Amino acid sequence: MFFHDILNIATGVKYASQMLSKSSISEYTSSQCHKINRAITQMTEEIQAQKDFTKAEEGTLKLNVQPASSNEILTRIWDIYTEHPLCENRQISISEHSENFMFHTDSTILTRILGNIVKNALEASIQGETITIGSRKTPDSIVFWGHNSYVMPTKIQRQVFKRSFTTKEEGRGIGTYSMKLLVEKYLKGQITFESTEGKGTIFTISLPEINIQK
């Protein structure tokens, strides 16, 4: 009920902002309305992600498996997070070595997982750095990755996927845990990472082309 009600409120605020933008002749007002819409969209996505995470832990999350384009998923990630406050003075790039292909998955869930990888990378990066994302296809799997130049201390690496572990403020720490839960339990794949001097940190998601739970 909480998720339902708060999503309805967010939708109402977004609609009011859109109506204000359409009726205004002021460039400044229209610009501010655009910022409000962008912020509400990001907030709504965070609420929906928490809702799905709760269902995933309960074992009641249902997937919507459909044909998907790897390039469209990466482009959506780029569109969302280049507008994110965390991306200020930072860049997100789709690798020139990334491959485009069609496959079957729940693209909303996969986009959310990749979004967590990008958010974590942005938070770990300093100004002026670039986060790179990409995809490739192997004979038996679909692979997505996200890379940044930050190197995690060994102590952090050992606890990355633990529930409630975080290097941020108290009350956070389900991002990487939820990634592992969604990838392994629902998308039937594997998520790994490597973080070393000279290479930085790269998270890799490997998904099977078949046997995805619906």
Per residue in 18-69, pLDDT tens? 888 888 788 888 888 888 887 888 788 888 888 888 889 898 999 999 999 9
Cβ burial of 201 (10 Å; 0-12, 13-18, 19+) is buried
Give whole-number Cα distances, 100 to 62, 66, 97, 171, 211, in Å: 26, 16, 10, 38, 21
Each residue of 71-130: pLDDT tens digit?
999 999 998 888 788 888 999 999 999 999 999 999 999 999 999 999 989 998 888 999
pTM assigned to the model? 0.79
CATH class of the structural domain 66-207: alpha beta
Q: Is the pLDDT of residue 145 over 90?
A: yes
Give whole-number Cα distances, 83 to 92, 96, 157, in Å: 10, 21, 29
Chain-centre distance of CA 95, in angstroms? 17
Assigned token pair, 167: 């290097």
Block residue for tokens 């958010």: 119
Helical H segments across the chain, by residue range: 2-23, 27-58, 70-82, 107-124, 154-157, 175-181
164: left (phi over 0), alpha (psi -120 to 50) or beta: left
Cβ neighbours of residue 8 closer than 8 Å, sequence gap 6 or more: none
Domain boundaries, the chain: 2-58, 66-207
Handedness of CA 99, 194, 172, 207 (dihedral sign): positive
Cβ neighbours of residue 80 closer than 8 Å, sequence gap 6 or more: 42, 45, 115
- Taking the C-alpha atoms of residue 114 and residue 133, their distance in angstroms, rounded to an integer, is 9
